[in-house]
Amino acid sequence: MWVASLVAVIGLLSVAAITQFTGYRMGGSITIPVLAVYSLKNFVMLPVFVLSAAAAYVGLWILRRRTLIFGRDELIAAMVIGTAVPVVTLFFILQLGLEVGVVAFLGSILPGLAAYNYHRIKPEYRRNDLLASVGLFVTLTALGWVLVSNGFAREFGTLTPPVLFSSTADVAIYKGVAVSLDPESVILPREIVAGLFAGGLVLSERLRGRFGVRVGIIGAVLLAIYALASYWLVILYVLLLALSFGFIQLSNYHTLRYGRVLLGVTVAVAIFAAGSLTFVIPIERGLSAFFTAILAGVGAYNAHASAPFERRLVVPLQIVVFVPALIVARLFSAPQPRGFPQELTLPVLGIAAVFWVAALGIAYWYTVSPPSEEEVLSASVLSEGGET
């Protein structure tokens, strides 16, 4: 995990610095660093990403010309288009008997994120932005390639839970330095993972539309999947979320940094902290811990970016997404020894229902229901007594 963390942290801080001094978007705060780790983990991810990002860019360009789509809807549309291409492509790769791993499916949100960010750049700056992104990607990939070596494998390959030294990492296999540890087992079938992500996206956006709070697009769903592997990953998320939120509040207060710069630095801090915590927390799934750190950093930024009154709803609304995702995931997979829930008994379902109702109730308690469009129209001076 330490190589993946080092590559990601250097990448995130580099993107933050480039954004601060040039204004380049670099495909998003996390895209290039995470793509570098993905590509070292599985070589097929790079061509799939390029194809998917191009499709998402063209698709979003068409939608912007043909519809009135704007703002958040542009991001969702780009992510849907960008996700469809890698999922379909990787499905056909699996039919050929090649193994790509669930990590490839988890990375399918990156192309849409990159396409959306490049659409947000003025046309005259897109070429330089793209060149800077490619240069940083090549640098990070080269760094990871050098660090995954026989000398480091012997001395530090198992210092932290292996990610790029594992027997499922293409770079370790190609260089013959994979450590002799059991690979991470599959938690859920890929089809179920894709379905959960789609359902989580719909529910998260519905909650955002109703309560105006950033819940996170796939964070709660991915955490529910990880809960089946180990409850320590959930504990790690809670610790990192609190740590990241404290850091982002202090950093914003003392430096006045904000936006993509603050997001990138916060995720870097979360990843570094996760690597450090693996020495004291019994976590065996390095890649899962890596993504948990990213989720915590992004979640802390979403909470920070919310208004103070709405900020208290972030955790309850994450629970609203997490609980049904966990139940559905448990229906299709048996938990690992440290995962939960071990059994879907009636008491367990009852406790889950209580948590879900309580979290949703808290959200409604703290908010005021907005009037419907019909009510607004009827009260408008332009309605002429309810007629249009």
Q: What digits encode the pLDDT tens for the residues 340-387?
A: 888 888 999 999 999 999 999 998 888 777 666 676 667 766 655 544
* Triad 256, 314, 299: Cα angle to 5°: 55
Residue 286, classified by CB atoms within 10 Å of its CB into exposed (0-12), middle (13-18) or buried (19+), is buried
Supply the Cα-derived Rg of the chain in whole angstroms. Answer: 22
Find the mean pLDDT for residues 10-36: 92
pLDDT score of 387: 47
Q: What is the pLDDT of residue 120?
A: 86
pLDDT (mean) for 36-59: 87
Q: How far apart are alpha carbons 38 and 291 in whole angstroms?
A: 11
Rounded to an integer, the average pLDDT of 292-315 is 89
Helical axes 314-331 vs 346-366, angle rounded to 10°: 150
- Please tell me which of 49-53, 138-142, 250-254 the model is most confident about, judged by mean pLDDT: 138-142
Residue 91 above 80 pLDDT?
Answer: no
Q: What is the pLDDT of residue 244?
A: 95
- In the predicted model, is pLDDT for residue 287 greater than 90? no
Two structure tokens written together for 191: 């089809």
Residue 45: the pLDDT is 83
pLDDT at 281: 87
Higher model confidence: residue 25 or residue 385?
Answer: 25
Residue 388: per-residue pLDDT: 45
Residue 96 predicted with pLDDT over 70: no
What pLDDT shows up at residue 373?
65
Q: In 3D, which of 260, 263, 39 has the Cα closest to residue 139?
A: 39
pLDDT mean across residues, the chain: 84
Strand partners, 338: 230
Q: Which tens digits make up the pLDDT trace of 151-191? A: 776 666 667 777 888 877 888 888 888 777 665 666 777 77
**Domains of the chain, residue spans:** 1-183, 217-378
CA atoms of 201 and 6, how far apart (whole Å): 30
Lowest mean pLDDT among 84-93, 169-178, 259-268, 305-314: 84-93
CA angle, 116 then 122 then 124, to 5°: 125
pLDDT in the model for residue 282: 86
Average pLDDT over residues 62-88: 79
The CA-based dihedral angle spanning residues 19, 273, 220, 38, taken in that order and rounded to the nearest 10 degrees:
60
Lowest mean pLDDT among 41-55, 128-142, 226-240: 41-55
Beta bridge partners of 230: 338
